[in-house]
Amino acid sequence: MPYFKKYLLRFYTALVLFFAFSVHQAAAQAENYGSPYSRFGLGDQQPLSLAHHRAMGGITTTTYDSASLNLGNAASLSDLKLTTIEFGAIGNIANIATNSASQYRSNFNFGYLMLGFPVNKRWGTAIGFQPYSFTNYNLVSNVDSAFLSWREEYNGRGGLNQLSWSNGVHVGGGFHLGVTATYLFGTINQERSFIFPFQDSLFLFNVRNSDKLRINDVQFSFGLQYRKTFKLKPGQTQKKSIAFGVVAELPSALNASNSFVSERFTLVGNSIRVRDTVSNQSDVGGTVQLPWALSAGFQYSIDNKLLMAVEAKYTNWTDFSQFGRPDSMQNSLQFAAGMQYTPKYNAIGDGSGWKTIRYRAGVRYNSGALVLKGQAISELGMTFGVGIPLKRPYAMPYMNVTGEIGQRGDVSNGLVRERYTRITVGFTLNDRWFIKRKYD
């Protein structure tokens, strides 16, 4: 019992310190890298996957494990055998370029925090917290017309978070069902300014329009997995299994409020002096319509040694709107393929734990939901990573390190290209809790 208490104390202390540090970093991210494409929709949407899934191209529809969690398909939780905590952080380095200029930006953000445990042999549950989207941009555009020129500035900060509760149940045979309720909340602040070179002349005044969007509501998704393990034939020593997975995200009309202020101002040096307020609307109620999405995948594995999976996702983004106003969106298709190789799955006990390192790789492509100047902003990325075992009796803790390299958009037609490198470090910590021990 003393060892168990000592382990729990260290576990909780490390978790609290990490969470506090990650929240601080998440709050500070507005001063660092932000995608210019986060100006549209609800910002730069974050992947709904943990470090070990991101290393395989972000595949979550078909994956399941008795000692790790899955944010993407709640049906996977029915296989959970250990109380498990997952947490991670993400670092980004990006080159943002146009036809005429480029710059490097970087940041380090909180990634995710998730706790799950088995309720019984057929039912697993989990709660999770992670960012849903980031809004962080600062854009300048010079506009020239036949009679006048001016400068337009666009600024945005904020984002949305998600708190989820997922449950997975083995309903019989190879079928597993899951449901997730996700509470979305947060604030997005956006400004658009028109600045004239000869302010206060010709009855032209600098104008600043400020929008503040708040969202607080729940959305639901449902998951299904079918798993089958084939019996060994004479002469065979390795079991083979397959899995099919489907996740349906329901359309949601999220409760929201919007505050809008329009001001005329004068620049005094680098400071703004407001002359008057043209419009001021506070906390106007409305809805943000999120679209439905459907993903499906297939997985093939050989005796906990080799796992290969493919996945496709369709999202009906043309249904997206804010307060009845659509955005520059189109329906998107996303494809991913990944694999995981473990030299010797159960080698920890024989002194050769390094053989249980999990090697992962994947690729993903997104046709792009955002359309600017008639061009879809597509994205292509490659992923790779390792899962390093952390020695611990009666448990399967891992440190998962994932690297991603990719590109979104291009510089044609006056658009912006992002080339990025992303590192995700996550920890899977688990133990056998909630059981009565016969010996101590």
The residue count of the chain comes to 440
pLDDT, residue 160, reads: 94
Q: How far apart are CA 53 and CA 400, in angstroms?
A: 10
**Biggest CA-to-CA distance, the chain:** 91
Looking at every residue in the chain, the average pLDDT score rounds to 86
Report which of 85, 81, 83, 245 is spatially closest to residue 178, judged by C-alpha positions. 245
Report which of 219, 220, 191, 222 is spatially closest to residue 207, judged by C-alpha positions. 191
344 beta partners:
none
Whole-angstrom CA distances from 229 to 226, 240, 241 are: 10, 6, 4
Task: Give the chain's end-to-end CA distance (angstroms, integer).
Answer: 6
pLDDT, residue 198, reads: 67
Whole-angstrom CA distances from 408 to 208, 268, 335 are: 30, 38, 15
In one letter, which amino acid is 281? Q
Q: Which domains are seen in the chain, by residue range?
A: 13-140+158-188+216-253+291-431 (2.40.160.60)
CB-CB contact of 116 with 84 (8 Å):
yes
Torsional sign, CA 68, 426, 52, 168: positive
Q: How far apart are CA 342 and CA 212, in angstroms?
A: 49
Q: How far apart are CA 138 and CA 329, in angstroms?
A: 21
Whole-angstrom CA distances from 155 to 38, 127, 140, 196, 356 are: 10, 34, 9, 18, 47
Place of tokens 């666009």: 154
Beta-carbon contacts of residue 418 (< 8 Å; ≥ 6 apart) = 35, 37, 94, 95, 96, 97, 407, 408, 409
Residue 433's region, left for phi above 0, alpha for psi from -120 to 50, else beta, is: beta
Taking 50 as the pLDDT cut, the residues of the chain under it are 1, 3-4, 7, 11, 14, 18, 21-22, 24-32
CB-CB contact of 359 with 339 (8 Å):
no
* Paired sense of beta strands 398-408 and 417-431, if any: antiparallel
Alpha carbon of residue 13 to chain centroid: 26
pLDDT digits (tens, 9 = 90+) for 96-105: 998 888 888 8
pLDDT, residue 278, reads: 85
Q: What radius of gyration do the chain's Cα atoms show?
A: 25
pLDDT, residue 26, reads: 44
Beta-carbon contacts of residue 365 (< 8 Å; ≥ 6 apart) = 334, 335, 336, 378, 379, 380, 381
Rounded to two decimals, what is the model's pTM? 0.86
pLDDT digits (tens, 9 = 90+) for 109-137: 889 999 999 999 999 999 999 999 999 98
Mapped to the 3 state alphabet, what secondary structure does the chain carry? Answer: CHHHHHHHHHHHHHHHHHHHHHHHHHHHHHHCCCCHHHHCCCCEECCCCCHHHHCCCCCCCCCCCCCCCCCCCHHHHHHCCCEEEEEEEEEEEEEEECCCCEEEEEEEEEEEEEEEEEEECCEEEEEEEEEEEEEEEEEEEEEECCCCEEEEEEEEEEEEEEEEEEEEEEEECCEEEEEEEEEEEEEEEEEEEEECCCCCCCCCCEEEEEEEEEEEEEEEEEEEEEEEECCCCCCCCCCEEEEEEEEEECCEEEEEEEEEEEEEEEEECCEEEEEEEEEEEEEEEEEEEECCEEEEEEEEEECCCEEEEEEEEEECHHHCEECCEECCECCEEEEEEEEEECCCCCCHHHCCHHHHCEEEEEEEEECCCEEECCEECCEEEEEEEEEEECCCCCCCCEEEEEEEEEEECCCHHHCCEEEEEEEEEEEEEEECCCCCCCCC
Question: What's the number of CA atoms in the CB half-sphere (13 Å) around residue 75?
Answer: 25
